[in-house]
Amino acid sequence: MMLAALICAVAATVGPMLLGSQPPSERLAMHLWLMTIGTLGSWAILIPSKFAEAKLEDQVPMRVTLLAFGAVVGIVGWLVGDTLFLKSPGWHEPIDANWGLVSHEMLRWTAGRPGEGFAPTLAMYMSFFAFLFLVPRWWRQAEFTREKRISLWWIAVCVFWAWVVHLLWWFPQPTGMMVAGVIATATQLASPWMPPSRRRALTEQMELEQAVA
């Protein structure tokens, strides 16, 4: 978990660079927010994945757990953003749709469509992070039997899903995409990993021992 926090601190330095010219105070606020929520998000995946390791036969309990943990991450994200006076800058379409089919069209959580610098509400934070954690199989990125130490494919999937979610439950982009990338990167790099070659060697050794016995 401490390694995940360190990785998030490093990975979060990239985020503010993607948002164009901003005052140093806003860049610092974005870095602190990404670092904090990235760390908490990776912990929300690492902890249940550790308890469910080699026991996950039904995905429903894990998905419900991650849904709840995602809502908690959203609450903390809103509190940290409010404390840092984070403006949550967003790009224009097609990266940031500036609306959500469920949050704005159906539930009408805001009077108008949010623009650049709009601060999402607590409900928007909770819904975005809850559904961000619900669909992708985040726990697969923490398995020690995964094929690669770090998979760029999985990171890309999580980042893309963050963009898809904001079309339903709006959240400023690329902020949401960046935090998803930080969480996925930290989860993989901080999780134990046994290379396939090592697993094959152990299997062959066990088979040899059984043959001798």
* Mean pLDDT value across the chain: 85
Domain ranges of the chain: 2-212
Distance CA 12, CA 209 (A): 48
Q: What is the pLDDT of residues 13-59, one digit of tens each?
A: 988 887 767 788 888 999 999 999 999 999 999 999 888 776 666 78
pLDDT at res. 111: 47
Closest CA relative to residue 160, chosen from 180, 183, 146: 180
Q: Where are the alpha helices (DSSP H) in 148-192?
A: 152-168, 175-190
Write down the pTM of the prediction. 0.86
pLDDT at res. 208: 63
DSSP secondary structure code for residue 145 in this structure: T
pLDDT at res. 112: 46
pLDDT at res. 5: 93
